[in-house]
Amino acid sequence: MTPTRTLSCITPPFILTRLLDSDNVEIRQAALATLLTTAQLRGERSVRGLIAGALATPADGRRSIFDCAHSTYLPSARLTRSENDEPVQDASVNRAYDGFGTTRAFFQEVFGRNSIDDRGLPLQGYVHRGNRYNNAFWDGRQMVFGDGDGQVFLDFTGSLDVIAHELTHGVTEHTAALEYHNQSGALNESMSDAFGSMTKQWLLRQTADQADWLIGAEVFTPHIDADALRSMKAPGTAFDNKLFGRDPQPDHMDRYVQAPDTEDGDNGGVHLNSGIPNKAFYLVATGIGGNSWEAPGHIWYESLKASTQTTDFQAFADTTYDKAGTLYGADSREQRVVKEAWAGVGIQITTAPTLGRG
């Protein structure tokens, strides 16, 4: 009979396992290290299993890309490329994988954010979704991309800012959780465009003056006369053609679109009125100068985190002014540029922040 050895451990295993779920990475690592050590000494099967589970827990935005093979039923999609896997034959899979990696690195290196939820949420992408599908979306947990119909639209993974746009919807959901209608919804869209464009600029090392400020420049077929889905620099100018007319995005509150809060009305024009805060961010970035992801990006990121579900344009503008003062000083050049930028789109900063107004 093998003698049973019992090791004393000042922290009971059930507490250590609870600590594996801690928000604090150092606490998680310490708990894991302790469990590893004690399990090595004890050789306990249950603890080894627990540790294996902890090690297998995807962390730090681990990527998984699935091939839908033109189905709309995501659970049937096949896992095609996981973190650290070599590139595969499928270019859409590789673009989604690389786009997630770039966006993840952008948020980590620029803002110190660990994936979508700042806790290392795994990044799951689904490509080749549906048949001739002209879209990309965030379903609340993962990002989904269509191939396009080949007549108007191409594969939506072809555009890094589109990939980053969808991933940023997740970031917004885990911060302000801006409601997806009317002004809060337009702000939600604008956050995705702003951080999507910044991701591309960061990768290309472009200054605000050098960037094209286009969203989805790569999603149209060559037959379509369109620069992109949207222009942050000049909302309302991204396209003008016989097939779907002129870009309807406003660039100023004077041209704010009062659309019905229905799906037919794009939930109050969330993809239309986003042109107004988009233009404001462009004006801030070019007004401050240099790289958009530096002072302008930090002002916007801190303001996003300070916003609520019902934050409207005025409240967000006031918050950016407040954050510019906190980060760079009251009456700093950055703060003055923020004020001028919002005035440029018809929003006057009020001195008292008005967060929470719906």
Partner 1 sequence: MRLSLATRGGMAAPIARRLPPQVLDTDRLPDDAVRELRRLVAAASADPGGAHPAPPARDAMTYTITVDDGPRSATLVSSDTSMSPAFAALLDHVQRHLG
> Which of the residues are catalytic?
166, 271
Tell me if 311 sits within 8 A of 355, measured CB to CB.
Answer: yes
Least separation, in Å, of the C-beta of 13 and partner 1?
A: 35
Q: Beta strand 78-82 with 63-67: parallel, antiparallel or unpaired? A: antiparallel
Pattern of binders to partner 1 over 53-82, x per CB under 8 A?
-----------------xxxx---------
Binding mask 226-245 for partner 1 (x = CB under 8 A): ---x---------x---xxx
Pairing of the two strands 143-145 and 136-138: antiparallel
Q: Determine, following the binding rule CB under 8 A, whether residue 187 of this chain makes contact with partner 1.
A: no
Q: Which of 13, 120, 216, 296 binds partner 1 (CB under 8 A)?
A: 216
Q: Is 264 in the site for partner 1 (CB under 8 A)?
A: yes
Q: Contact at 8 Å (CB) between 256 and 301?
A: no
And the tokens for 40?
């090595």
Q: Tell me the window of 5-13, 21-29, 161-169, 294-302 that interacts with partner 1 (CB under 8 A).
A: 161-169
Question: C-beta of 123: minimal distance to partner 1 in Å?
Answer: 16
Interacting positions 265-284 with partner 1 (CB under 8 A): 266-267, 270-272
* Continuous segment of H or E residues that includes residue 104: helix 91-111
Please, how many CA atoms are within 13 Å of residue 274, restricted to the half-sphere of its CB? 26
Applying CB under 8 A, does 155 fall inside the site for partner 1? Answer: no
Residue with tokens 């922040």: 353
Q: Does 180 bind partner 1 (CB under 8 A)?
A: yes
Q: Dig out the tokens for 270 from the structure.
A: 């969330």
DSSP class of residue 226?
B
Q: Is 188 a binder of partner 1 (CB under 8 A)?
A: yes
Nearer to partner 1, 140 or 222 (CB): 140
Question: Pick from 66, 100, 111, 153: which binds partner 1 (CB under 8 A)?
Answer: 153
Of residues 31 and 136, the one with the C-beta less far from partner 1: 136
Among 247, 302, 322, 334, binds partner 1 (CB under 8 A): 247
| Angle 10-14-18 from CA coordinates, rounded to 5° | 110
**From the CB of 138, what's the least distance to partner 1, in Å?**
5
Q: How far is the CB of 93 from partner 1 (least distance, A)?
A: 20
Structure tokens at 350: 């009020």
Kindly state the smallest distance separating residue 230's Cβ from partner 1, in Å: 9
What is the C-alpha to C-alpha distance for residues 237 and 229, in angstroms, rounded to an integer?
Answer: 10
Q: Tell me whether residue 219 or residue 341 sits nearer to partner 1 (CB atom).
A: 219
Percent helix, strand, coil in the chain (nearest 5)? 45, 10, 45
Q: Quote the least distance from Cβ 167 to partner 1, whole Å.
A: 11
* Shortest separation between residue 285's beta carbon and partner 1, angstroms: 22
Residues 6+ apart with CB under 8 A from 115: 60, 61, 104, 107, 108, 121, 122, 123
The full length of the chain comes to 358
Is 308 among the residues that bind partner 1 (CB under 8 A)? Answer: no
163 binds partner 1 (CB under 8 A): no
Beta strands in the chain (DSSP E): 63-67, 78-82, 123-127, 136-138, 143-145, 214-215, 230-231, 240-241, 245-246
Q: What is the CA 250 to chain-centroid distance, rounded?
A: 23
- For partner 1, which residue of 28, 62, 81, 169 counts as binding (CB under 8 A)? 169
Interface residues toward partner 1, by CB under 8 A: 70-73, 130-132, 134-141, 144, 149, 152-153, 156, 162, 165-166, 169, 173, 180, 188, 192, 216, 219, 229, 239, 243-245, 247-249, 263-264, 266-267, 270-272
